[in-house]
Amino acid sequence: MTLLDKHLDQISYCAASISELPFPRPKIFTNALLQAHDITSLIRDTEIHERALFSVPPPPPAPKAQNPSASTNRRNTIFDVNGAGSSTMGGGANAVRAPKRNTAVAAVLGTELVDKIRKGGGGGAGTGMGYRTYDNTSKTEVDVETLLEGAEKLLAVYPIPGAREKISALRQRHMQLESSLDYYENKIADQTTQLAKKNRPRSPYIDDEPDEAEGDGEAPVFQPMTDEDLRKEEEEVRTLEQKKRGLEDRVNSMGRDISGVLRLSHSTTMIDFTLTSPQLTLRTNARTFANSVLAGAPKLYSHLPTQNERFQATLPIYRTAVQAGLIKGQVPSPLGGTSESLVDAAIVVEEFFAVEPSAAITILGTGLGLTPLILGGNEELWGKFLKKFLVQEGEPIAAFVHSEPGGTANWLEKGAPGLGTTAYEEGGEWVLNGEKLWTTNSSGWDNRGADIQCVVCRQGRPNEPQDPNVDPASNILILIVTREDISHNDASAYQVLSDPELPGFTSANGPHSKFTNLRIPSSNLLCAPGKGAQIVEQTFGSSAALVGAMCVGIMRSAFDAALAFCKTDTRGGTVPIIQHQSVADKLIDIKMRVEAARALTWKALSGIEKGPGGWENRIETALEAKVWCSEQVTKCVVDAMSVVGMRSYEKSMGFSRMLDDAVCLPLFDGGNVGVRRRQLEKIFQSDGYEPWAGTYSSS
């Protein structure tokens, strides 16, 4: 509409100016820009329909007293229609915007269209040409058809290249929008009626806009159009599409509500484990990536002799994951990522661990590394540190750096030594000292550090003991250490001391690293002293439940492999061994554990985000998911091996590798015995503990 609006504005300007020129009839008229013979030639050479534009009814007599302002007195040409006596003062194009009855534009548009514009089809007091007028509680809408009809008539006299095609396209688009609006408005009305029948009023979806006001039959006084009115015309056209999108969203939302009502009326359960369409797509994409990319990872690293070499060999896999949006997919959508929920994350984790846990842990470790920043950051920190993880290129990697060589199971125990990694502020910088271990991805791809390390430390100087009378949590802070920070220090300020060799997760990175007077800017403080411990607990809360999804992936893989074997192998008998009751019973036990583990994991992750209950109730289920699932996964793999028999111990069968990976799950991300069960114990011991608040809310 912008190009057409500009042309219409130009036409209106010219027409208004022409209408004010005082040319006598039949004498020639003059203009400041044209000589007399030019005007004569123009009139002589015009076509009949063009000449008609200069034959207009005489204007009404001017008021006796006129005092034009400076802004409206740019042209004061005298036009004596009768040859003498009366005169008209011109005020420029801005003085008259709407088509008056005695203007050339009005002559082209015709009386019927002008009346339609005046009486409500396209104008109204205070709105300008092209607006319908409604009551005080409603918005105005553009009468597009009236504008297009007028534009077509003007084009018949003032042809503009390409304008007619533009008008045709706009009319077709307008018809489509009107049809869509009518459809969705009718659908909303029908669905509102259905909701009312179910006695479930949902006020947020009720359209409280009153119907359009009936016209009172009187033609409103036409007001001059301002530049603001012209801008409104363009905005109102865009509003049509916005309104359509809004109606679509409301229809979809109400459709979900109605579906929920219908389910409630025919079912006794209030829980639906059916994946949404986006979740089904997410699962398909994750499974495709796992089978086509992750599955090839062992060929890249399995022949290499050291843990670090095997880790570095997975760099092409990681780059592909970045390009596929799997790193961006671990950042919540409000912060620029594509992650919608923790349940979505569990769907991806399960698919990855069902195929290749070792390479997958590196991809997922970056999500864990970013979690403290996501939970404890602000707009400035997010903008500064998240940017490279939202661009689907390169190999940005992140690490959550908490565990230490001496263990961290009792790191917040009052009177204990506390964390060995310390930091103190000096000269606008934080000085970091200490050693870390089992910190996934922390060394980066070249042993010079990950792009971002969220380092948990204790406020204090090196070798300075913790005050036994002070709550250790009051001194816990989190610093963000980047590769750039490390490069600005001496090479000895950050060192990778070793990479422990692992029987499972053979390509994972969990180095023993050391900070020695590493200086980082004070602006890299993520959590001030006293606030870091809470972010650590929240970070490990969500990761605990995601360990449950890792367990489900491995259990599922073991079940699938055992089931396929039992359905095809007779073990020297006459029928496949699944037809023997003892074998079937083992498979049934495995399948039940898989389903129960997945349900507990999804419940835990949903509860963390949505409740019910307070934080202790929410994290309780996450802890239970981590403990129970990780203690079932080894049982499932062993049971699967037992039905296959001795052949399951052969490396090519894959069961031994599953077992090597599964054994780690009860130990990492907070060991079950030293950390997770102790957290549950503390929750159970607390005053006012409500065992079922995480399911039914507080009683």
Q: pLDDT of 511-527, one tens digit each?
A: 999 999 999 999 999 99
Tokens of 261: 């009502």
Report the pLDDT value the prediction gives residue 106, as an integer from 0 to 100: 73
Nearest in space to 331 (alpha carbons), one of 379, 274, 375: 375
Report the pLDDT value the prediction gives residue 175, as an integer from 0 to 100: 77
Tokens of 529: 């002293």
Report the pLDDT value the prediction gives residue 47, as an integer from 0 to 100: 55
For the cut 70, the answer to whether the pLDDT of residue 668 exceeds it is yes
Task: Clarify whether 669 is annotated catalytic.
Answer: yes
Mean pLDDT of 57-73: 50
Tokens of 676: 């997770």
Mean pLDDT of 141-163: 75
C-alpha to C-alpha distance for 121 and 133, rounded to whole angstroms: 9
Which range, 8-22, 240-254, 596-610, is most confident? 596-610
Residues 88 and 103: beta-carbon distance below 8 Å: no
For the cut 50, the answer to whether the pLDDT of residue 69 exceeds it is no
For the cut 70, the answer to whether the pLDDT of residue 155 exceeds it is yes
Tokens of 46: 């015009």
For the cut 70, the answer to whether the pLDDT of residue 367 exceeds it is yes
Domain 277-530: assigned CATH number? 2.40.110.10
Domain locations in the chain as residue ranges: 1-22+57-270, 277-530, 537-696
Which is more confident, 209 or 427? Answer: 427
Contacts of 321 (CB under 8 A, 6+ apart): 289, 293, 327, 363
User: pLDDT per residue over 38-64, tens digit each?
Assistant: 555 555 555 555 555 555 455 555 555
CB atoms within 10 A of CB 200: 13
Domain 537-696: CATH superfamily, name plus number: Butyryl-CoA Dehydrogenase, subunit A, domain 3 (1.20.140.10)
User: pLDDT per residue over 420-454, tens digit each?
Assistant: 999 999 999 999 999 999 999 999 999 999 999 99
**143, 257, 669, 687: the active-site residue:** 669
- For the ranges 64-73, 407-416, 532-541, 680-689, the lowest mean pLDDT is seen at 64-73
Q: Where are the alpha helices (DSSP H) in 267-378?
A: 277-292, 297-301, 307-313, 315-323, 342-353, 357-376
Contacts of 375 (CB under 8 A, 6+ apart): 535, 538, 539
User: pLDDT per residue over 350-364, tens digit each?
Assistant: 999 999 999 999 999
Backbone dihedral region of 432: left (phi > 0), alpha (psi from -120 to 50 degrees) or beta?
beta
User: pLDDT per residue over 556-582, tens digit each?
Assistant: 999 999 999 999 999 999 999 999 999
Report the pLDDT value the prediction gives residue 366, as an integer from 0 to 100: 97
User: pLDDT per residue over 584-629, tens digit each?
Assistant: 999 999 999 999 999 999 999 999 988 888 888 899 999 999 999 9
Which range, 19-28, 269-278, 292-301, is most confident? 292-301
For the cut 60, the answer to whether the pLDDT of residue 540 exceeds it is yes
* Portion of the chain with pLDDT greater than 70, in percent: 74
